[in-house]
Structure 1
Amino acid sequence: MQNINLYQRPPKRGHGPRPMQMVLGWLLLFAVIISHGAWQAWQLQQATTLANATQSRAQALQAEFSSATASFQAPQLDPLLPEQLAQQEQSNLQLQRLVAHLQLLAQQQSAGFVAPLAALSERHPPAGLWLSEIALRDGGSSLSLQGFSQDQQLLPLYLQSLGVSPVFRGRAFARFELQRNADGLLGFRLSSRLDDEGKADE
């Protein structure tokens, strides 16, 4: 009789990585190291390029600065400038005085016109006599009246009325012109200057 052993021990299985897996792992690690090294090399190249460009720009700016410094000339003060400024200030002062004097004369002339015009507006011509022109010159010292009258007796009455005003009191009309026109109206022109009155008083 032959005995047959049907029980067989299972083969032992290894618990570590298989050789193929180890090879693949090493290949993957090597690829990662290579990629990281390439990225680091690219960054280094970019930094080197930027540093070189910055250095070149700095050298160019330094060269420009050196050239500008070499060609720079300090401005020289004109020795005649202070004297010219003093003369200009003196001229400006004289102009200011002249302007102030002209303004004062203009104010005086304006004031000289106001009083005669106010007096003329207060003394209305009598009926039948009217003024066509009133002229004031030389700050009011020269006065000229021109107009028409229907009656020659009205003109002396009007002049007498003007003489009542303090502005025209004692003022004589040294120039007196009368002319009758085609319509029968008597045209008159009276003129007076204050200096003429002073000569008449002498």
Structure 2
Amino acid sequence: MGRKSLKETRQKQIIKAFYKLAKKEGLENASIAKTADLLAINPSLVIHYFKTKEHLVYGLVEYILDRYLLIFDVPENVQHNPKKKLLAVIDNIFSHKWNTLFDDSVSYSCYSLAFRDKVIKEKYKILLDSLRKNLEHLIIECNEKGYLKVDDTAAVADLVFILVDGAYYYLSLVSNKREYNKKLGTYKKRALGLLNFSVPASSAG
């Protein structure tokens, strides 16, 4: 058990360092040697845990995808109220929290590899399906409690994330903060519209 724990800890340290390099220099310029240098360790130790840069990229992709799932972390005081929990998740999705979980440039660089690498493609597919399933589960809970009346819960969850994906892809090109916030608010209202929710005063803006 101890060996496994140490291995996982060391792997996470290496991946985080590789991620930091990718943010600073671009994924294409991040390397095993630079990662080792950043951690002040021998490159052979990085190779011990990740045989090639390709394997290190796989680890990075898993790290980024795990960060995506943190969007479902909501305050304890809303955990037992399906409506408040769903609204809190929508708030998280359409907020700056989404962008602080991972760097867009690294995420998109990794995503682009899915067009050439079947392993990465499958990892992204599993994660994005998981996001949709988690959101659908929240919608179903609200249906059961009478907060919503959504007939095709899977389709609505899918449409919300289609809106999310398109929104952040476009907003990555928007530099003006006021324009960014205005558009993000508009997209959030559209998502709530799919759920037949109105925007509560407490979460406006």
TM range (shorter): under 0.3
Q: Answer 1 or 2: which has greater helix percent.
A: 2
Q: Answer 1 or 2: which has greater strand percent.
A: 1
TM-score by length of 2: 0.21
TM-score by length of 1: 0.22
Greater relative contact order (Cα 8 A, min sep 6): structure 1 or 2?
2
